Amino acid sequence: MSRLVSVLVILFLFAPLIATTLISFNATPTFGFPSQGLSLRWYANVFARPEFWVGFRHSLLLATLGTLAAIVISTLTAVAVVRFRFPGRSLMNALVMSPIVIPEVVLGLAILVWIYAVLDMPGAWALYLLHTILVIPYIVRMIIAGLQGYDINLEHAAMLLGASPFRAFLLITLPSLKDHIMAGAIVAFIVSLHNFTATMFLVLNRPTLPTAVYQYIRTETDPTVAALSTLLLLIPLSVVAVGRRWLGLDRMVGR
Amino acid sequence: MPGRGSIRLSGVEVRYGSVVALRDFGLEMASGEIVALLGPSGCGKSTALRAICGLQALSAGEIWFGDRLMNTVPPHHRKVGMVFQNYALFPHRTVAENIAFGLAVSGVPRRQHAARTGEVLALVQMTERGGHYPHQLSGGQQQRVAIARSVAVSPDILLLDEPLSALDKQLREQMRHELTQLLRGIGITTVFVTHDQEEAFALADRVVVMHDGAIVQCGTPAAIYARPNSRFVADFLGSISYLGGVLERAETGTGTVLLDDGTRLRGQLVEAAGIGTRVDVGLRWSSLRPAGAAGDGGGGEGSLAVTVRERVHRGDRVEYRLEGPGGRAIRLLALTATGAAHDVGDRIRVRADANDILLFRPATGPIREGEPA
Amino acid sequence: MTARGKGLAVAPYLFLIPALALTASFLWALWGLVHESLTDPAGGVSFENYRRMLTVPEYRAPIVTSLRLAVITTLVTAALAYPVALHMRRMTPVARLTVQSMLVLVFFSDYLLRMFGLIILLGRRGLLNSLLMWTGLTDSPFRLMHNELGVLVGLVSGALPLMIFALDAALGRIDRSTEQAAALLGGSPLRVFWHVTLPLSVPGLAAGIVLVLLVTVNAMVAPALLGGGFVVMISNFVYDRAIGLDERSLATAAAVIVFAVVVLIILAVHAVLDRFALRFGVTDRGRG
Ligand SMILES: Nc1ncnc2c1ncn2[C@@H]1O[C@H](COP(=O)(O)OP(=O)(O)OP(=O)(O)O)[C@@H](O)[C@H]1O
Ligand SMILES: [Mg+2]
């Protein structure tokens, strides 16, 4: 019984991905079945349409900058939270984790009406700010877990061998945390890359990949997006590969 | 002027919040001396090491290395090597890289690394393992690498936290021997922590016995063994049984007690006690000797009539569990007496030298040796 | 980099400077949102936006729709996720790894594109309908989307992996021997599940409920694409008023209300969980 449900659930979850992949090779601009022949024209169209490429570059830039900033901020925060006892410690922990539970429209609109409109921050900056805030919880959580499981004696040993506290952290502790940081960064990067709702409030006239795709779906009905979607399956496929070979799948889903 | 490698701690106190982990800790060590900190779990041994190397700030007291006050010197400037209980080898670096780490961060030119690494690896007989990762080594090998790593940077002082406790018994005995040779060979001032008295006695010039954050006794292994200064130390060293009696006479350092069965014994008066008060009479198992059957007359001074309750063979020795005066249990370790084995139920006499009989003020609190025979 | 002595009491705050700056900026922005929602066109303080949000049926509808869909999505998701999570526990390591990989694959594929995939499947002339008509099972296409059903399918598809992960994590923490003991005492599989496994998995369920709630509240693509304009959920409402219709202050009031509702629900879930933990000794809250 639970076996049957499991199979159906997996099938249900995979159906959209399988459908897009099938349709992406259709020769006709329809989503119907049976297909009227195979072609790669929609793949060609993906590269012919400038908005996808522009959106993709913007999304990559955003995800890269947001993730990098978040790694730095998260590492410092995790060190403070794990290594020190100070007033406000658990409040600080809760605050950096809170963006996960703030509805995206709230965060997006708040930054739009206040930081962008009132403070007059350039739109691109407001978007970086948003994405950094959005992804920090995923990285902080991972680094805190890493630091808690880390043998502090390693850092102490480095210091007693003559390394300053900073060098001991940089040369010994940080490399030991690299799996945790990598796992957090991968999740963060993808969260940022795929973010739609909050991003919509701040894209203005420079689309990200998801907003460009959304516009396309709303205006055109052909399998170009299916082709794009099939190409983008590379991303989750590589997450699975990296998770299985290197970082552990459990860690990728936040455990 | 005190030399390089000498240490002086005075009035050192360490608190973790309301817990006092180290109180009025005072210790002076000469250059090249090997000192063991011995005590039960939680008595502050690791804390003392952490205070010496600077990983733990003091709430009072001073630490001097030679003529330099170290209180505010950070760990990485103290020139103190430490071997951690779990060795703390850097898992993502090879043995050679572990050792070269200290050389690199302390500014030794890169071209000298290989030579120095080879030198210390040879010292610990690990020359072929330079390219291995820590997880590819056995516990004993990891320990040797940890020692090599900490001596590679030529520290003034070496600290070892329970260096042998992670090893199995057989390896522990072998490594104890090797470690002695190694430390003597380098001639480095060493403080090591252990809760195993055999280890302390085998390795150290001097033993510091700690209890509840404070030093209770400090001296050479022989002195401490021969004359523990309190019930705590005597109990901790173990292998001792107690009888009850009343102090009849006291001279300088010695006293005569009347046991409950009327036997008189002379012994070392460890702690001052009033004439006519009760004292505990400590008998080292190894110092007791059988002195014939109980019927054989007096048996001389210091002899005692007991009943054999149990006989246990322990390899090269026989351990007798005896019942002494007042029903107190006594143990006796005897070399396997070829003919004169005693049977359960025999009444025999045992004796000990006055030097090996220790008189203590009665222990307050539960007396664990008072187990009925 | 360790706490040493009292002289370093400022050190943690130095490490926190960037995080503080960042949290300050979004807290400040949230304050700005509230401020904006309470400001009338003349610049004075007014609750007019809130009054309109809560009394005008047309404005209230998206909130109600979102809550209704959140509840249904949670129920459907939990009903589907439990068998999967339970089944995953009984699998061989290899099979488990395969299923986990598939779930991770789905989870890390673009949500928007999965919604697009559902359009392909469920559309009037989509795969499912054309398949049905091609096989002759039906003559006219079914209306599988552009209604709440379509949106629900999208929401469930988005939320399912999260619920499975949460339940799987919680079930993984249960000591197998507890269930075996219950089974040995004569409990039927269903009774063991109801009296032992289910109570012990409640922390995971609670985490899952919160995650599903957030997925539903954040859903903008699913209602827009699969609802085809017939289903307006809260994110669409806020976005349309703020960007499309230039009714920004109404949108801010709506956003504040959503935020308040979400916080209240999360607090309620945790309160229930705490009482539950007291009764059953389940202390681990799981994640979320
Ligand atoms: N970081 C800490 N915070 C609070 N208390 C501590 C801390 N570290 C040690 N203590 C306490 O200080 C006391 C001494 O600890 P320490 O580690 O020095 O003992 P130890 O003699 O090394 O014991 P063991 O043989 O078990 O290693 C103990 O009571 C311990 O509980
Ligand atoms: Mg210790």
Considering only CA atoms, which residue is closest to atom 17 of ligand 1? B46
Cα separation, B312 vs B336, in Å, equals: 11
* A221/C108: higher pLDDT: C108
**Mutation for testing the B interface, residue in A160, A164, A170 having most B CBs under 10 Å:** A160
Q: What is the mean pLDDT of residues B77-103?
A: 94
Task: Quote the mean pLDDT of chain A.
Answer: 91
CA A41 to chain CA mean position, Å = 30
**Confidence category of residue B300, pLDDT binned at 50, 70, 90:** low
Residue C30 lies inside a defined structural domain of this protein:
no
Q: What is the mean pLDDT of residues A205-228?
A: 91
Residues of chain A with CATH 1.10.3720.10: 50-252
Which neighbouring-strand residues pair with C39? C45
Those residues whose C-beta lies under 8 Å from the C-beta of residue B125, and which sit 6 or more positions away, are: B144
> Which ligand is closest to the CA of B195, given by its number?
1
HEC-encoded secondary structure of B246-295 = EEEEECCCEEEEEECCCCEEEEEECCCCCCCCEEEEEEEHHHCEEEEECC
Cα separation, B189 vs B207, in Å, equals: 14
Based on the structure, what is the number of domains in chain C?
Answer: 1
Give one word for B213, left, alpha or beta, with left for phi > 0 and alpha for psi -120 to 50: left
pLDDT attached to residue C52: 92
* B102 reaches A (C-beta below 8 A): yes
A159 neighbourhood in chain B, CB within 8 Å: 55, 74-76
* A236/A120: higher pLDDT: A236
* A101 reaches C (C-beta below 8 A): yes
Cβ within 8 Å, pair C5-B55: no
Residue A210: asked if its preceding bond is cis (omega within 30°), the reply is no
Q: What is the mean pLDDT of residues A183-206?
A: 93
Helices (H), chain A: 2-23, 41-48, 50-83, 89-97, 104-110, 123-148, 152-160, 165-168, 174-176, 178-194, 197-200, 209-219, 224-232, 234-242, 249-252
**Confidence category of residue A26, pLDDT binned at 50, 70, 90:** confident
DSSP states of B90-111: -TTS-HHHHHHHHHHHTT--GG
**Mutation for testing the A interface, residue in C20, C23, C130, C210 having most A CBs under 10 Å:** C23
Helix (H, G, I), strand (E, B) or coil at A228: helix
Residue B212 backbone phi and psi in degrees, to 5: 55, 45
Domain containing C239 equals 56-279
What's the CATH class of domain B239-360?
mainly beta
* pTM of the model as a whole: 0.86
Cβ within 8 Å, pair A160-B86: no
Q: What is the mean pLDDT of residues B71-81?
A: 94
Is the distance from the beta carbon of residue B210 to the nearest atom of ligand 1 less than 6 Å? no
Cβ within 8 Å, pair A161-B153: yes
What count of other Cβ atoms lies within 10 Å of the Cβ of residue B325? 18
Residue in the block written with tokens 């877990």: A145
Considering only CA atoms, which residue is closest to atom 1 of ligand 1? B16
Residue in the block written with tokens 């309750």: B309
Computed on alpha carbons and rounded to an integer, the radius of gyration of chain A in Å comes to 22
Q: What is the mean pLDDT of residues A53-66?
A: 95
**Minimal Cα–Cα distance from C8 to chain B, Å?**
11
pLDDT at A189 over 80: yes
pLDDT attached to residue B312: 79
Helices (H), chain C: 11-15, 17-37, 48-55, 57-90, 93-107, 111-122, 127-134, 148-172, 176-184, 189-192, 198-200, 202-218, 221, 234-239, 248-280
> Are A224 and A42 within 8 A, CB to CB?
yes
* Nearest Cα to Cα of residue A82 among A146, A178, A147: A147
* A203 reaches C (C-beta below 8 A): no
Cα separation, C236 vs A89, in Å, equals: 37
| Superfamily grouping for domain B7-226 | P-loop containing nucleotide triphosphate hydrolases (3.40.50.300)
Helix (H, G, I), strand (E, B) or coil at C115: helix
Cα separation, B68 vs C10, in Å, equals: 28
pLDDT attached to residue B301: 64
Q: Which residues make up the environment of ion ligand 2, defined by Cβ < 5 Å? A: B 46
> Are C177 and C196 within 8 A, CB to CB?
no
pLDDT at B9 over 60: yes
Angle between helices C111-122 and A224-232 (to 10 degrees): 140
CA of B181 to the centre of ligand 2 (A): 24
**C72: CATH:** 1.10.3720.10
pLDDT at B371 over 50: no
pLDDT attached to residue C1: 42
Give one word for B334, left, alpha or beta, with left for phi > 0 and alpha for psi -120 to 50: beta
CA dihedral angle for residue B175, residue B176, residue B180, residue B182, rounded to 10 degrees: 10
Q: Which of A22-31, B124-133, B299-308, B316-325 shows the lowest per-residue confidence on average (mean pLDDT)?
A: B299-308
Is the distance from the beta carbon of residue B44 to the nearest atom of ligand 1 less than 6 Å? yes
Residue C19 lies inside a defined structural domain of this protein:
no
Q: Which two tokens stand for residue A140?
A: 């902080």
Q: Which of A126-135, A240-249, C76-85, C113-122 shows the lowest per-residue confidence on average (mean pLDDT)?
A: A240-249
Residue C28 lies inside a defined structural domain of this protein:
no
CA of B37 to the centre of ligand 2 (A): 10
H helix or E strand, kind and range, residue B322:
strand B317-323
Residue C177 lies inside a defined structural domain of this protein:
yes
Which neighbouring-strand residues pair with B313? B318
* A94 reaches C (C-beta below 8 A): no
Residue C149 lies inside a defined structural domain of this protein:
yes
> Are A58 and A206 within 8 A, CB to CB?
yes
pLDDT attached to residue B293: 64
Q: Output the tens digit of pLDDT for each of chain C's 288 residues.
A: 444 444 457 888 999 999 999 999 999 999 999 999 998 888 888 899 999 999 999 999 999 999 999 999 999 999 999 999 999 988 899 999 999 999 999 999 999 999 999 998 888 878 888 888 888 888 888 888 889 999 999 999 999 999 999 999 988 888 777 777 877 777 787 888 888 888 888 889 999 999 999 999 999 999 999 988 889 999 999 999 998 877 888 999 999 999 999 999 999 999 988 888 777 665 544 333
Considering only CA atoms, which residue is closest to atom 29 of ligand 1? B42
pLDDT attached to residue A73: 97
Cα separation, B80 vs B5, in Å, equals: 9
Determine the atom of ligand 1 nearest the C-alpha atom of B50: 18
pLDDT attached to residue B292: 67
pLDDT attached to residue C123: 84
Q: At residue C3, what is the residue type?
A: A
**Confidence category of residue B277, pLDDT binned at 50, 70, 90:** confident
CA B272 to chain CA mean position, Å = 25
HEC-encoded secondary structure of C188-236 = CHHHHHHHHHHHHCHHHHHHHHHHHHHHHHHCCHHHHHHCCCCCCCHHH
pLDDT attached to residue A34: 63
Residue in the block written with tokens 């005492």: C185
ipTM of the complex: 0.92
C5 neighbourhood in chain B, CB within 8 Å: 57
**Confidence category of residue A228, pLDDT binned at 50, 70, 90:** very high
Determine the atom of ligand 1 nearest the C-alpha atom of B213: 14
pLDDT attached to residue A165: 93
Quick one: CATH architecture of A50-252?
Orthogonal Bundle (1.10)
Residue C40 lies inside a defined structural domain of this protein:
no
